[in-house]
Amino acid sequence: RPSFRPLRLADAPPAAALVAMVRLEDDATLGFSRPEMCSEPLAGTAKAPFSRHICMAWGKAEEWPAEVPEGFPAGSLPTKVEATIKEVGQVSGEKVKVTYIEATGNIRDGDVLIFPDYVKISAKADGGLAALKSVLSKRRDPSVARCLEDVEDLDSGFLLVCSHTKRDERCGHCGPRLVEAFLTKGVANAANMQVLKCSHVGGHIYAGNVIAYSGRGTKEGDDGHWYGYVTPAEAALVASGSAARGRLWRGRMGLSEAGAKSEARLKRFWDVAPILVVVTAAAVVVAAIVVQKRKP
């Protein structure tokens, strides 16, 4: 007859062990060791055919509603900013993307960052919405931005890490860990990058998702790179720009799906071109030797 004894508190695993077990389980289903990691080619998966990216600082990443700005209260500042952006867009026809970021450091709630203009506007200021409308209406004319009040230049680069917990658990799990990796390993400082948690960018399956803006003066057509399947071990590659058009690269701002795939193929070609040159040269030398030996 089997005997049972009641479970005693002393038999339970320590709290730290329980936490570790939960983290391992979460990482296996939501994190960097989940089965879908690196299961698809990424080039062309970025939905980025826009010419401007507008990022508004508002609230905490873990508190953002699943749908933004629809989930924000009517009449709140984010809804007013969205209305201003739509008003300008109806006139200009310019394609823009709006993303929400978590305030940190010198980025405060109500601040609006605009890329690739690299300017910051305080939407909370009295003339903030008017300044935003003026900047967006002038199609990236730096002289206009600098003469407006409530508009500041941004001097650093930025890493936007999707951490939108209520939109998808994978982003909520991977995002904060990537932010920590960028900050604790010093790679962001080395690349003069600020690291910000951001809302949904598209492609939950590709978490960790990162968008990189390298800074004012970056060559046109080579900024706003999107990355997926990024792990803490690859933080330095992304921050330095070395991962652009490689296996983690999803595309970049202003580029179509076909364009992204084309740039990735060209990068792969140039990566192997030196090897092909060496092999071809070696084959020519060998052939020449063989011909020389066959001569009477």
One digit per residue, pLDDT tens: the chain, 296 residues? 544 455 454 555 565 554 444 455 688 999 999 999 999 999 999 989 999 999 999 999 999 999 999 999 999 999 999 999 999 999 999 999 999 999 999 999 999 999 999 999 999 988 899 999 989 987 555 555 555 667 899 999 999 999 999 999 999 999 999 999 999 878 888 789 999 999 999 999 999 999 999 999 898 889 999 999 999 999 999 999 999 999 999 999 999 999 999 998 987 776 655 564 556 666 666 666 766 677 66
Are β-strands 96-101 and 111-115 bridged in parallel, bridged antiparallel, or unpaired?
Answer: unpaired
Query: Residues 234, 248: contact at Cβ < 8 Å?
Result: yes
Question: How many CB atoms lie under 10 A from the CB of residue 279?
Answer: 11
Tokens representing residue 209 in the block: 């998702």
Give 253's contacts (C-beta < 8 A, 6+ positions apart). 48, 50, 51, 53, 115, 116, 223, 224, 225
Query: Residues 183, 239: contact at Cβ < 8 Å?
Result: no
* pLDDT value, residue 11: 57
Of 130, 49, 119, 117, the C-alpha closest to 84 is 130
Tokens representing residue 197 in the block: 């948690």
What backbone torsions phi and psi does residue 181 show, to the nearest 5 degrees?
-65, -45
Angle at 138 between CA 137 and CA 140, to 5 degrees: 120
Angle at 93 between CA 258 and CA 260, to 5 degrees: 15
* pLDDT value, residue 126: 85
Query: Residues 218, 12: contact at Cβ < 8 Å?
Result: no
- Which residue's entry shows tokens 């179509």? 256
What is the CB-side half-sphere exposure of residue 165 using CA atoms within 13 A? 10
Are β-strands 210-213 and 225-227 bridged in parallel, bridged antiparallel, or unpaired?
Answer: antiparallel
* pLDDT value, residue 26: 80
Q: At what angle do helices 77-92 and 128-137 cross, to 10 degrees?
A: 20
Identify the bridge partners of residue 157 per DSSP, sorted by sequence position.
193
Tell me the Cα Rg of the chain: 25
Rounded to whole angstroms, how far apart are CA atoms 242 and 190? 14
Say what the pTM is: 0.82
Of 131, 136, 129, 158, the C-alpha closest to 52 is 136
